[in-house]
Structure 1
């Protein structure tokens, strides 16, 4: 795996895209078995502080690929 394909590099790239759309990527602070299986992320609107993606069926239910796909649709 090259550096540009590492999880942290992908996360930074997606975070930059999210900020352009007025969104923040959130990660859980406490480990949860449901979340640790796939990474666990949510998107929050900066202005309203409402979760717009990744909170169903449980908090932090989205992985990086799902977040990226959501952002591409915007």
Structure 2
């Protein structure tokens, strides 16, 4: 699933980042972020703390992005 999400993200000019050393909060519900390839700005997954998005959250974000036809 992660590889598929990573490929989808690339289509939108985004990089899927995964926490390398997750703390307890990240392990509980999160572990991923999306970063804009050009600007290196985090576009999703940094709401209350870094790597706050689950892989399912990322998939939902990319699905909505595809439905609207917008860029991140």
**TM-score, reference length from structure 2:** 0.85
**1: CA distance, partners of 2:18 / 2:9:** 14
Q: 2:22 aligns with which of 8, 26, 31?
A: 31
- Please list every run of at least 4 consecutive aligned residues from structure 1 whose deviation after the TM superposition is greater than 2 angstroms: none
Where do 5+ consecutive residues of structure 1 fail to align?
Answer: 1-9
Residues 9-56 of structure 1 deviation map (CA, whole Å, 9 limit, x = unaligned): x00000000000000010112121001113410000000000000001
Q: Does 1:42 align with 2:33?
A: yes
**CA RMSD of superposed structures (Å):** 0.9
TM-score (norm 1): 0.83
Please, which runs of 5 or more residues in structure 2 have no aligned partner?
66-72
Alignment coverage as a number of residue pairs: 65
- Between structure 1 and structure 2, the one with the greater Rg is 1
